[in-house]
Amino acid sequence: MTRWLWPRGLRARLVVAFVLVTVLGAAAAAWSSAGSASAALVASTQQRLTETIAGQIGAITPQLVYPPDQGALERLRAAVGADTLVTYRNLRSAEGPDTALVTDALRTAVRTRHRLVTERIIAGGKPWLLVGMPITLTAPNGARTPSGIEVYAVRDLSNIERRIDGLARTAAGTAALALPPAVLLALIAAGGVLRPVRELRDTARRLAAGDLDARSPPQGADELAELTVTINEMAESVQASMAAMRRMQADARRFAADVSHELRTPLSTLTAVVEVLATTTDGMEADARESAQMAITETHRLVRLVEDLMEVSRFDAGTARLRVEEVDAARAVRDCLRARGRLDRVEVVAPDGILLRVDPRRLDVIVANLAENALRHGAPPVRVRVSASREQVLIEVTDGGPGLPEQVLPQVFERFYKADAARTRTPGNGLGLAIARENARLHGGDLTAGNADGGGARFVLRLPRNPEDR
């Protein structure tokens, strides 16, 4: 519960902490002053009352006759005032009901100590001061002996208590008066502390948004200034690293594009040669024919790799463009599979009449890559299911294989990624799924990978029905 009551914002916490410290300090000082004043007031009142009573007793004592009679006790009681009890052995003189408050402990202390004794008590919800004093006889030689006369006076301290309560209220008022200036000072202090923090926050947001030139000027020589300098140094390091990384990426893309472009001409020649070679393999010896077939296969593989690299370089350079036409989704899927001789191995579940505007060549590349991936790495049955809503068309490709391992899913669309290192010489080059997803996103759609409920890999292509409206 305390965690929810405590403010979460740094400004609110600073203000609350500052106000609490200020108000508590003012309250402690006020209460301490009130306590000291109360103690001094009680002590001075007690001293004044005891001195008054002692003076009254001292004034009447020389007039007394020893041993005293009842009349002497009455005169002594009258001299001291109301609420007074005077005793001598079995004689006593009392006036006022409050004399009953005199305690046995006070009487015992007066008789044993032979001096003035005071005691404060609470009776009937009111504070009282009890004063007990023995009367002693002084001999000509100065010797003092107890006379046996004891005087007890009871005095009401309610007036003193009211004055103490007034001091307490004054202390509380002083603490309350400290609250508004404490809040004001707390707001000013919090603003001064949080201003550089807000500047650092704004700088961090600009850095996170990609503005690597964002900096915060350090102010002062405190810890916040040191933090500002550290963040600026970090930003400069990140900026330098990002610039170097961009240069490396640009060089790598330029290299791939240049190499792919330079390879096209010799590969075209080599392709023509191997096509001629393919027509003459029937008359070759078995070993020569096998070598020729391997050369033909690897040449075709190299051609596909170069074509894929050039396609990737166009995506990286942002030069890939759509040539949109209206096509029937089901017919486009069947034509793609038929052209590659896969229609008999792939089950197509697609109603006719689902029209969408796409680049037919790029849709063909996506479907071909997904189908080849399912046939190569999955298991029958391989299905392509087409469905549509008002806004988009879904093309789902599933297989009956073991599915994609959890550790593979985050990397399945990465370039040149192959889940099984043992398949490095398979016909695929690790670019097919990456190119398929780039083509999907070029249309304003997306391509996702996962596993079907019954097992097997599941790829879902989502395309808007009209990419120009995205």
CATH number at residue 75: 3.30.450
Residue 384 has pLDDT above 60, yes or no: yes
Q: What is the pLDDT of residues 446-458, one digit of tens each?
A: 999 999 888 889 9
C-alpha to C-alpha distance for 14 and 32, rounded to whole angstroms: 27
Q: What is the pLDDT of residues 145-182, one digit of tens each?
A: 777 888 888 877 777 777 766 766 776 666 666 667 76
Mean of the per-residue pLDDT values of the chain: 78
Higher pLDDT, 364 or 216: 364
Residue 398 has pLDDT above 80, yes or no: yes
| Structural domain ending residue among the three candidates 158, 177, 196 | 177
Instruction: Characterize the bridge pairing of strands 392-398 and 382-388.
Output: antiparallel
C-alpha to C-alpha distance for 1 and 166, rounded to whole angstroms: 36
Identify whether the C-beta of residue 330 lies closer than 8 Å to the C-beta of residue 348.
Answer: yes
Least confident residue range of 185-194, 294-303, 349-358: 185-194
The DSSP annotation for 379-416 comes to: -SPEEEEEEE-SSEEEEEEE-SS----TTTGGGTTSTT
Identify whether the C-beta of residue 101 lies closer than 8 Å to the C-beta of residue 120.
Answer: no
pLDDT at 1: 42
Identify whether the C-beta of residue 149 lies closer than 8 Å to the C-beta of residue 88.
Answer: yes
Contacts of 227 (CB under 8 A, 6+ apart): 200
Report residue 379 as tokens: 């298991």
The SS3 of residue 354 is: coil
The DSSP annotation for 56-110 comes to: HHHHHGGG--SS--HHHHHHHHHHH-SSEEEEETTEEEEESGGGGG--HHHHHHH
The DSSP annotation for 122-177 comes to: EETTEEEEEEEEEEEEE-TTS-EEEEEEEEEEEEE-HHHHHHHHHHHHHHHHHHHH
Which residues are bridge partners to 119 per DSSP?
130
Identify whether the C-beta of residue 395 lies closer than 8 Å to the C-beta of residue 333.
Answer: yes
- Of all residues in the chain, the percent with pLDDT exceeding 70 is 75
Cis peptide before 381 (omega within 30 of 0): yes
Strand order in the sheet with 382-388: 346-349, 382-388, 392-398, 457-464, 446-451
If you average pLDDT over residues 405-427, what whole number do you get? 71
Q: Is residue 157 part of a domain?
A: yes
Report residue 293 as tokens: 């077939």
Q: Considering its fold, how many domains does the chain have in total?
A: 2
C-alpha to C-alpha distance for 437 and 414, rounded to whole angstroms: 10
Q: Is residue 239 part of a domain?
A: no
pLDDT at 302: 73
Residue 460 has pLDDT above 90, yes or no: yes
Instruction: Characterize the bridge pairing of strands 325-328 and 144-156.
Output: unpaired
Residue 328 has pLDDT above 80, yes or no: yes
pLDDT at 51: 77
Q: What is the pLDDT of residues 281-292, one digit of tens each?
A: 776 777 777 777
Cis peptide before 67 (omega within 30 of 0): yes
Residue 468 pLDDT level (bands cut at 50, 70, 90): low
Measured from the Cβ of residue 334, the count of other Cβ atoms closer than 10 Å reads: 18
| Structural domain ending residue among the three candidates 110, 143, 177 | 177
Higher pLDDT, 407 or 255: 407
Residue 17 has pLDDT above 50, yes or no: yes
Q: Is residue 187 part of a domain?
A: no
Q: Containing H/E element for 267?
A: helix 223-278
C-alpha to C-alpha distance for 446 and 327, rounded to whole angstroms: 19
pLDDT at 291: 79
Higher pLDDT, 83 or 31: 83
Instruction: Characterize the bridge pairing of strands 392-398 and 144-156.
Output: unpaired
Structural domain including 343 reads 325-469
Q: Is residue 248 part of a domain?
A: no
pLDDT at 14: 62
Q: Is residue 438 part of a domain?
A: yes
Q: Is residue 183 part of a domain?
A: no
Which of these, 329, 339, 338, 443, lies nearest to 395 by C-alpha position?
A: 329
If you average pLDDT over residues 453-465, what whole number do you get? 91
Q: Is residue 406 part of a domain?
A: yes
Q: What is the pLDDT of residues 193-246, one digit of tens each?
A: 667 777 777 887 887 787 878 787 777 666 777 777 888 888 888 888 878 877
Q: Containing H/E element for 54?
A: helix 10-60
Which of these, 129, 40, 39, lies nearest to 84 by C-alpha position?
A: 129
The SS3 of residue 31 is: helix
Q: Is residue 421 part of a domain?
A: yes
| Structural domain ending residue among the three candidates 177, 202, 225 | 177
pLDDT at 440: 93
What does the DSSP 8-state code read for residue 468?
G
If you average pLDDT over residues 138-146, what whole number do you get? 70
Query: Mean pLDDT highest for which of 43-47, 224-228, 386-390, 421-425?
Result: 386-390
Identify whether the C-beta of residue 99 lies closer than 8 Å to the C-beta of residue 154.
Answer: yes
If you average pLDDT over residues 307-314, what whole number do you get? 74
What does the DSSP 8-state code read for residue 378?
S
The SS3 of residue 319 is: coil
CATH number at residue 424: 3.30.565.10
Q: What is the pLDDT of residues 19-70, one digit of tens each?
A: 666 666 666 666 666 566 666 666 777 777 777 777 777 777 777 777 888 8
Higher pLDDT, 322 or 114: 322
pLDDT at 421: 46
